[in-house]
Structures are given as C-alpha cells and as structure tokens.
C-alpha cells in the first residue's frame, strides 16, 4: 500500500469518528424527551379541562333554575283591562274610606248627643225631685190648713157652718164634712137645705164608690 492511500484511509476514519461525535452531541438524551413529552401532554389535558369547564358553565347558565330566574328583576307590563280594573279598585277603596270617615263622624256626633241627653235627663230628674218635694210640702201645708179649718168649723155652731156650706161648692163642702167628726158633721148636715144635703151626700158616696171591697 502506498503512503498516499494510507493517509487517505486515515483521513476517512477520522472524518467518520468526527461525524459520529457530532451526531451523538446533537441527539438529545432520552430523559429530556420524556420531560418535554409530559409537559405537552399536561398542557393538552389542561386545555381540554378548561374547554369542558366553560362548556359546562354555559350549559348551567342556559339551564338556570326557575327560582333563580324568578329572583332576577322582571318588568311585567300591565294590560289596558288590568289598568282599568286596578283604577276601579282604587276608586272603590277611596269611596269606602270616605264612607268609613263619615260613619266615624256620625258615631262621634251621636256619642256627644248621647252624653248631652244623659246630662239633660239627669238635670230633669233633679228638677222633678225638687218639684215633687215642693208639691209634697204644698200638699202637706194645704192638708194642715184644711185640717185646721175643719177644727174651726167643728167648734162653730152647726147652724152657722151649714149656712156657709150652702154657699160652697158641693165637692169642697163634702171635703170638710168628710174630715169632721161624725157628731159635728151630723149637726151641719141637719142644718143644710134638703137639696144641699142631698148633693153633698152624693159627692161623699161617689168618692168611695170605686174603692175595692176585697
């Protein structure tokens, strides 16, 4: 083998070794590839999870519960008939309130009138009691006067008393005869004219005609 051929072969062997080294240096180790692959898989899984969460959230929002939908403010526009009905109800309520106010005023006026009537009745009863006492006193005084005058007639002569009774009203004369003792009354009746004696006797008998016997 010539010297030139040997140098060429040696040069080729050196080039192969150099290319082997550069390929070995350029090839990444297996551990690094595994880490990178894990990162890529984790990123893909994360993106898939985020997309699924957004889809579920959109579905939940679309299928919101009726209670949650009711909680949100909603504007209900009243119809013309409903507005007319509500206006009629308001008018009726105002009319009822006005009637109730009038009834309260009347009840208050009646209460005041009742108190005034009660006061007047109390005053009237007091005045009636006073009048009754006055009448009783007057009757008692009159009765005392009549009794005193009767005793005077009893002390007079029967003839003189009979002359006075002839001039009296028969009812008035009969009242004195009824109060006198029987002896004095008999003397006076004996001195009267037959007509006067009969009239006074009828008056005296008529006074007790309606008196119950039992």
Domain ranges of the chain: 80-140, 156-209
| Long-range contacts from 15-22, C-beta under 8 angstroms, 24+ separation | none
Mean pLDDT over residues 143-149, rounded? 84
The H or E element containing residue 133 is: helix 80-155
Token pair listed for 25 = 């240096």
87 pLDDT tier (thresholds 50, 70, 90)? confident
Token pair listed for 213 = 């016997």
The helices-and-strands tally (H runs, E runs) of the chain is: 8, 0
208 pLDDT tier (thresholds 50, 70, 90)? low
135 pLDDT tier (thresholds 50, 70, 90)? confident
Q: Are 174 and 204 in contact (CB under 8 A)?
A: yes
Mean pLDDT over residues 77-93, rounded? 82
The model carries a pTM of 0.37
What is the chain's mean pLDDT, rounded? 75
Nearest to 158, CA basis, from 181, 190, 124: 190
Q: What is the pLDDT of residues 102-123, one digit of tens each?
A: 999 999 999 899 898 999 899 8
Token pair listed for 8 = 């060429």
């Amino acid at each position: 083998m010539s010297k030139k051929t040997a140098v060429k072969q040696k040069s080729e062997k050196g080039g192969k070794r150099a290319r082997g080294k550069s390929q070995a240096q350029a090839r990444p180790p297996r551990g690094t590839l595994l880490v990178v692959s894990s990162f890529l898989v984790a990123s893909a899984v994360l993106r898939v999870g985020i997309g699924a969460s957004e889809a579920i959230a959109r579905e939940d929002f679309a299928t919101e519960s009726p209670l949650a939908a009711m909680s949100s403010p909603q504007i209900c526009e009243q119809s013309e008939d409903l507005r007319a009905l509500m206006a009629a109800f308001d008018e009726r309520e105002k009319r009822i309130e006005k009637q109730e106010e009038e009834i309260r005023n009347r009840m208050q006026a009646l209460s005041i009138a009742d108190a005034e009537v009660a006061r007047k009745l109390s005053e009237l009863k007091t005045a009636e009691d006073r009048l009754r006492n006055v009448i009783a006193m007057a009757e008692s005084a009159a009765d005392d006067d009549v009794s005193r005058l009767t005793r005077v007639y009893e002390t007079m002569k029967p003839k003189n008393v009979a002359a006075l009774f002839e001039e009296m009203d028969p009812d008035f004369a009969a009242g004195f005869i009824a109060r006198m003792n029987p002896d004095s009354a008999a003397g006076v009746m004996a001195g009267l004219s037959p007509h006067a004696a009969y009239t006074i006797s009828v008056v005296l008998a008529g006074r007790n005609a309606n008196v119950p016997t039992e």
